[in-house]
Amino acid sequence: MISLYTDHYFHIGDTHLTAGKPCQDYAISSVNNNAAFAVVSDGCSKGGHTDIGSRLIALSTINALYEHWTKIGEFNENASQKIALHQEIKLSAIQEILGLKLNDMYATCLYACITSKGGFIFMQGDGVIVLKYKDESLALHRYEWMDNTPFYPVYRNEALTNFIQLHGNDLQNLRFNQEIWIKKGEEDFQQSGEKINFTLSQGIQGITVYISEECLNQELEFIGIFSDGVCQIQDVDWKDAVVNFMSFKNTAGEFAKRRMIMGIKNFKQEGKKLLDDIAYAVVRIEIEKEVS
């Protein structure tokens, strides 16, 4: 029997803190009716009130996930696009009700939805996906947009034409990439193949990473999703930062919150500042033996 648990945390970067700016990253997670949901959003520093936008995007997304799961009861290969449509409708309504400008909503969205039958992770923008296995091995997926100009879900409602023009006005341009790094035991990280380049069209549609039921039952222990702030810690390789934040000594209660707080504290004691806000959310998979 599979049991699912979640936790999340977000923390303001040193540059925003000293400049008197709010944290523009946000994370939320929960378990609802035997399904685990985790969402991370990263607000654009050059946008408007994106601290508000990132929260609204994360909250509307997890609400759309709840609704889909409650009504459909499964996550099939078309789920991400149906959820994106629900997300689009909710964001449009929220923006209008609150009188927010388009640039207030400039924020990415990365989410995971996992059930005992498997699930998926969906990327709208940039960030890092982490799969940690029972043998302590790790698979890290990092996603980046060219020129640091990621896709934001709000573009589905407005400014999509401008976004396409910003990226060369050709949907087949390779403007988005993925790199995968593998770590086994005490070995160093090894890159798995070359970088994978995606077209502008693929980046706009969003990238899906599927998690199989077999993987949940036999191998996987944690699924982590990070904003790209994990790649912007002074003098720290992003892969080492991920390892730090995914090294849980105790998985009771707010396990992810405790780990990141301690990790950030240790980095700062070493003079390593957070150059950007950071957020993450984690799903923990536990196999419980059935009592006969």
Q: Say if residue 168's pLDDT is above 80.
A: yes
More confident of the two residues 218 and 17: 17
Using DSSP, state whether 23 is helix, strand or coil: coil
Give pLDDT, residue 290: 60
Q: Where are the beta strands (DSSP E) in 24-163?
A: 25-32, 35-42, 109-115, 118-124, 127-133, 138-145
Could you tell me the sign of the dihedral formed by the alpha carbons of 248, 249, 251, 256, in that order? Answer: negative
pLDDT tens figures, 192-220: 989 999 999 999 999 999 999 988 887 89
> What is the rounded distance in angstroms from the CA atom of residue 23 to the CA atom of residue 172?
35
Give pLDDT, residue 291: 54
Q: Is 15 exposed, middle or buried (0-12, 13-18, 19+ CB in 10 A)?
A: middle
pLDDT tens figures, 140-162: 999 999 999 999 999 987 789 99
Structure tokens at 168: 């060369």
Domain boundaries of the chain, sorted by first residue: 2-287
The closest of 260, 268, 231 to 244, measured between CA atoms, is: 260
Mean pLDDT score of the chain: 93
201 phi/psi in degrees, rounded to 5? -60, -45
pLDDT tens figures, 106-146: 999 999 999 999 999 999 999 999 999 999 999 999 999 99
CATH assignment of 2-287, among 1.10.357.10, 3.40.630.10, 3.60.40.10, 1.10.3720.10: 3.60.40.10
135 phi/psi in degrees, rounded to 5? -85, 15
Q: Say if residue 186's pLDDT is above 90.
A: no
- Containing H/E element for 220? strand 220-226
Give pLDDT, residue 23: 97
